[in-house]
Amino acid sequence: TRRSSDLEKEVIRGKLNTANSLATTSTTRTMQGLRAFITTINSTVTASSFTANPHLYLGDAWQNVYDQGGSSNETWCVLAGPTRYRDISNLNDTKIEDTSNIESFKRVVRRYTGPFGSAEVILARTLPNNEVLLVPRERVKVVPLQGRSFGVQEMGIIGDNRKALLTGEYTLEVHHANAMARIV
């Protein structure tokens, strides 16, 4: 059985198997993930450099996106692997929410705003620890193959036992990928 996390993983990390586009009874179809589409703007940084100044690397990547045609009017998101998510949240290290009537301590960045726009920051468990994707939501869509959206196919009824098969095939549609960024 497939889970929604499997779809998330394929959307972000999927690798297209061009030799097996139709699949078989023992293999599934594959699709190219978002990481593979983003080939124009790839910033390679050492781990300690990003940790020391995430704002610098996000700003540089976002400027490159802007230079390639990205717009501040789009709905941006920063998908971050666990380590980079913590690094981005540490941008807020001087602003800690701590009140005497609530027993909580909070230090997390959910929205990042820089010179080229604003983005929701999302922890992406399917990204490697030290990776960040800068993506506009309007240009990325998960769409069903023609006639293959999710559906239920009845398999049979035996007494009170009812069997069904959940079916569906989807692919990733990405527009203007050269105005997105990947920081590794």
Mind listing the pLDDT tens digit for each residue in 97-122? Answer: 556 666 666 677 889 998 898 999 99
Q: Which of 120, 92, 124 is nearest to 106 (CA)?
A: 92
By CB atoms closer than 10 A (0-12, 13-18, 19+), residue 76 is buried
Q: Which amino acid is at 64?
A: N
CB atoms within 10 A of CB 148: 13
**Above 90 in pLDDT, residue 175?**
yes
DSSP state, residue 12: H
Give the DSSP H/E element, type plus range, for residue 119: strand 117-123
CA gap 111, 120 in Å, rounded? 4
**Above 80 in pLDDT, residue 174?**
yes
Mind listing the pLDDT tens digit for each residue in 131-145? Answer: 999 999 999 999 988
